[in-house]
Amino acid sequence: MPTAELMSKRYAAADGAEAIELLFEKGWTDGLPVVPPTAERIWAMLEAAGLDPAAELTFIKDRQVSVTAEKVAINAVMAGCRPEYMPVVVAAVEAIGDPRWGYHGPATSTGGAAVLTIVNGSIARELGINAGDNLFGPGWRANATIGRAVRLVMRNVIGTLPGSLDRSTLGHPGKYTYVIAENEADSPWPPLHVERGFGPEQSVVTVLAAEAPHQFYNQLSNSAEGILRTLCDDMRISGNVVGQPQYVVVIAGEHMQTIARDGWSKGDIRTFVFDHTQNTIAHLKRTHRLPGEVTPADETTLRPLVAGPEDILVVAAGGRAGAFSAYIPGWGGKRTSEAVSRDVKRRVP
């Protein structure tokens, strides 16, 4: 057993059932039962990541909260993580503390953003993080518990409580957990983390403040352009189309094969989507997304969904069967929140 001490307050419980109810009473759950965080379980998490309990992983400036390894380990235990998941949880927590992610906005907004975490590299395969069938659904412990751990850290360490600091009008189920991996094995394209400047041998998490997935369907077209025109038509008019900083486009198996067969790269997809999702100012005014009266110039003046093609993140993931893919709008504006990537690594305390 390590010589360092855990500093968190301890509570006595007669058995596991009583401990679970105690955690409910303290308000430390997400509404579902959690695993009681015993000292032995907490140490297992810390040792798996090579972290001293007092190590500061990030500092949330807007809340003036230091997030330590011990607190993250406690919440990872409660979420049901296995110890080997801890380095991924740590990287995601570091990422949401990055000023570019801008914690205060996505965590407190009425817009209800969740933390979408995309995992790349060998660690996704080692941990069994799902990149295929039922991509955003239940069934995979790693996906479910890693994302849940991040949300519990937000709640229990940073104080992002629903109805208090978290003022989401509607929220969405991704606020329980929202983790996927990229299907690098089947993808014909460079993985997301390589596009974002990391080496192919690295394991990386990318976090984005994000709305829920918007699924689209195209079984009719046998061309890349046909599939992407369906996507663009949906994206162009759906939801908040005047302020998102970034979008994630998730291309699943059948669509991935068709698009790749036509020789399209991720860059080609980004450029096409950027060019074909622009709205006229007139349309945005008529649908009351922009203020003011429609002028003649508004009929031909176009406004893009994002600042540039580079703000569209393309991820190959989802089941091999079914003519479905998805897009995920980000939250906020370019200056308020953007995707942040962190490499997953072990540390020596």
Q: Show me where the domains of the chain are located.
A: 11-211+334-349, 212-329
Q: What is the pLDDT of residue 349?
A: 47
How many Å apart are CA 90 and CA 93, to the nearest integer? 5
> How does pLDDT run along the chain (349 residues), one tens digit per residue?
455 799 999 999 999 999 999 999 999 999 999 999 999 999 999 999 999 999 999 999 989 999 999 999 999 999 999 999 999 999 999 999 999 999 999 999 999 999 999 999 999 999 999 999 999 999 999 999 999 999 999 999 999 999 899 999 999 999 999 999 999 999 999 999 999 999 999 999 999 999 999 999 999 999 999 999 999 999 999 878 887 899 999 999 999 999 999 999 999 999 999 999 999 999 999 999 999 999 999 999 999 999 999 999 999 999 999 999 999 999 987 678 999 999 998 665 4
Q: What is the pLDDT of residue 84?
A: 97
DSSP summary character for residue 256: H
Q: Where are the beta strands (DSSP E) in the chain?
A: 56-60, 65-68, 114-120, 179-181, 204-210, 214-217, 247-251, 279-280, 302-303, 312-316, 324-329, 340-343
Q: What is the pLDDT of residue 4?
A: 76
Torsion angle, alpha carbons of 288, 291, 295, 297, to 10? -90
**How far is C-alpha 323 from the geometric centre of its chain's CA atoms?**
23
Q: What is the pLDDT of residue 1?
A: 43
**How far is C-alpha 193 from the geometric centre of its chain's CA atoms?**
14
How many Å apart are CA 294 and CA 119, to the nearest integer? 44
**Paired sense of beta strands 279-280 and 65-68, if any:** unpaired
How many Å apart are CA 96 and CA 106, to the nearest integer? 10
Q: What is the pLDDT of residue 2?
A: 52
Kindly report the pTM of this predicted structure.
0.96
How many Å apart are CA 99 and CA 307, to the nearest integer? 20
User: With b meaning 16 or more CB within 10 Å and e meaning fewer, what string describes 36-63?
Assistant: bbeeebbbbbbbbbbbebebebbebeeb
Task: Name which of 61, 63, 124, 128 is nearest 92 in CA terms.
Answer: 124
